[in-house]
Amino acid sequence: MKSIGIVGCGAIGRALIAAVTSGQLAVRIAGVTSRTEKSARDFLGTFASPPPYMSLSELITAADLIVEAAGGAVVQSLAEQAFAAGKDLMVISVGALLEHPEIIKKSRQSGCRLYVPSGAIAGLDGIKSACVGAVSHVTMTTRKPPNGLEGAPYLVQNAISLVGLQEEKEVFSGTAREACRGFPANVNVSAAVSLAGIGPDRTRIRIIAVPGLKRNCHDIEVEGEFGRLHVHIENVPSENPKTGKLTALSIIRSVQDVVDPVRIGT
């Protein structure tokens, strides 16, 4: 049975452990690690039969597939170590791939697979197919409740406060690359859309804070020689308001697809 190692102790890690424990996901969890051992052990202590805690080097040695769920700051170093050990890597913090495109190059050079799940978005298969031909534009509009955007570097740097917001407010408009730098915990979906399509500098992103909104909403529009594609998604947030429940479900399915010889869709 293929084994996975989980890097990170949050909503994604919890969902993966629950899926394996329930038998929904036919893999073995080799172990879990985090930036601090205490946080990892506290996290594992919430499970009746937790997988073992391991150091990062132990985890990479023990697992067939490393699943990153710890934030973009760890991705570059993690990729270097995983590929050097001949291990495959699944990256959840997709925005890091825009900052470090050498990770994609290294995957191709080493032959180690780099998996980028759809996460909180849908329609990547259509975008990939459309962009084989000529495409005039790819735009994405994200609407989130204000508390799902709090603390974003772009808001801090530009002194944009969402406290007490009474009506919807556009807080960002720019490229996918700029969006991922300014909102690293919020718009990994825009990185995935840009990588599937016409790139991070041609993909346009708008981010709107909407008071009272209960879901994270995304609208993607693609137009080209194939016609027009419009995708609308409304995600229920997980216990982490920055992460939609669909993200965790997407990771579970992506790991399932790694071990399943049958592949549906582009």
Condensed to tens digits (0 to 9), the pLDDT of residues 131-187 reads 999 999 999 999 999 988 989 999 999 999 999 999 999 999 999 999 999 998 888
Q: Cα separation of 148 and 212, whole Å?
A: 11
What pLDDT is recorded for position 242? Answer: 64
Cα–Cα nearest to 114, from 93, 148, 136, 91: 91
> CA–CA separation, 58 vs 235, rounded Å?
35
Low-confidence ranges of the chain (pLDDT < 70): 239-242
What's the confidence (pLDDT) of residue 186?
81
SS (H, E, C) 117-180: CCCCCCCHHHHHHHCCCCEEEEEEEEEECHHHCCCCHHHHHCCCCCCCCCCCEEEEEEEHHHHH
Give the pLDDT of residue 148: 87
The answer to whether 116 and 91 have CB atoms below 8 angstroms apart is yes
Active site residue 218: yes
Q: Which pLDDT value is given to residue 241?
A: 64
What pairing do the DSSP bridges indicate for beta strands 3-7 and 114-115? unpaired
pLDDT at residue number 265:
83
Separation of alpha carbons 154 and 145, rounded Å = 16
- Cα Dmax for the chain: 54
* One-letter amino acid of 169: K
**What is the pLDDT, as a whole number, of residue 237?**
78
Element (H, E) at 47: none
Cite the beta strand spans of the chain per DSSP E.
3-7, 28-33, 65-68, 88-91, 114-115, 135-144, 169-175, 204-209, 216-224, 227-235
Structure tokens at 154: 């772009």
pTM of the predicted model as reported, rounded to 2 decimal places: 0.91
CA–CA gap between residue 243 and residue 237 (Å, rounded): 6
pLDDT at 185: 82
How far is it, in rounded angstroms, from Cα 103 to Cα 95? 12
Orientation angle between helical segments 102-110 and 75-84, nearest 10 degrees? 10
**Cβ-contact 144, 216 below 8 angstroms:** yes
Which of the following is catalytic: 100, 218, 230, 232? Answer: 218
